[in-house]
Copies of this chain bind each other. A is one copy, B any other.
Amino acid sequence: MGWPVHRPLRTIAVCAPATPLLREYADAVSALAAAEFPGIELHFHDQCFAEDGHFAGNDATRLAALLDCANDARFDAVWFAKGGYGSNRIAGDFLGKVGPDARKKAYLGYSDCGTLLGALYRAGVGKPVHAPMPVDIMRDGGSDAIRRVLAWFSGDDSGLEAGLTGAPAAAFNLYTLAMLVGTDLMPSLSGHEVLIEEVGEYEYAIDRLLFHVSQHLHDIAGLRLGEVSAVPENDRPFGATVEEIARYWCEKHAIAYLGRAAIGHSSANRIVPFGLEA
């Protein structure tokens, strides 16, 4: 039971609980790992490349692949290939079917896959870790994002978000967190430093999401604001920066605003193990 102290994780399963990965990205990640991290074996589940409408296979296909990865004793960690939307549709059923080996693993990803990280954390299954995903190899500087995770698998903690204080932490995409709060997948974040990031949302939408989320996070230790990127231009200026928006809602609900964080939808996205770092 529970997560052992961080040790090198050699055999990593990759699946796609939300949307499909292009095979060329999997190949590029595998090539980088083979060249630079020979101690690591990556196993991309074929489901990563499945397509069914919006999703990387229908719910049953994605759930089966996630269970293949989680319940197989050969794998030390499960790395989510890509976000996009869809992991919430299988998270509850997944937790109902995890076996004992699933509880020993780390689970890595972010964005939409934050729903799974949150659900795992709530259930006390394995070690959820906010981290770059294989799809990030496509970004400018994406190889460095991938190296950060491969190094972490190898036992190197230099890719951790630098502002982690030792207090328990959790990191989420803001919209993903807004959809998670109040549901049966939401963990208690009481006493946690909560890091949030966002991409592609208008400032008014960020304000609206923080209105919602801040009401649900009244007992956290504090909020840190990651990158907020690709904010669309609206027909008029909002009138406040995203940091001012975050400070506003924190102040309104007596949540400590703890400054910025190096997480986000970019290759600078750093690693945040949920809970205590060990």
Contacts and interface: CB of A to CB of B under 8 A. Distances in A.
A239 B54 CA distance: 6
A241 B88 CA distance: 19
Nearest to A238: B54
Contacts of A183: 211-212, 215-216
Given A179-B209, A181-B182, A55 B239 contact: yes
A52 to B, nearest CB: 6
Interface in A42-62: 51-55
Interface in A184-218: 184, 203-205, 207-209, 211-212, 215-216
Stoichiometry, as copies per complex, reads 2
Given A236-B54, A239-B54, A179 B208 contact: yes
Interface centre among A89, A179, A181 (most CB of B within 10 A): A179
Nearest to A86: B204
A234 interface: yes
Interface residues of A, number: 33
Contacts of A25: none
Given A184-B215, A215-B183, A208 B54 contact: no
A207 B59 CA distance: 13
Contacts of A234: 54
Given A182-B181, A204-B85, A53 B240 contact: yes
A166 interface: no
Contacts of A205: 85
A237 interface: yes
A98 interface: no
A236 B84 CA distance: 12
A188 to B, nearest CB: 14
Contacts of A239: 52-55
A33 interface: no
A25 to B, nearest CB: 16
B236 A53 contact: yes
Interface string A54-87: 1100000000000000000000000000001110
Contact of A208 (B85, B181, B209, B236): B85
A221 interface: no
B182 A179 contact: no
Given A178-B179, A182-B181, A88 B54 contact: no
18 contacts: A53-B238, A54-B203, A54-B204, A54-B237, A55-B239, A84-B204, A85-B205, A85-B208, A86-B204, A88-B211, A178-B212, A181-B182, A182-B182, A182-B212, A182-B216, A183-B215, A183-B216, A184-B215
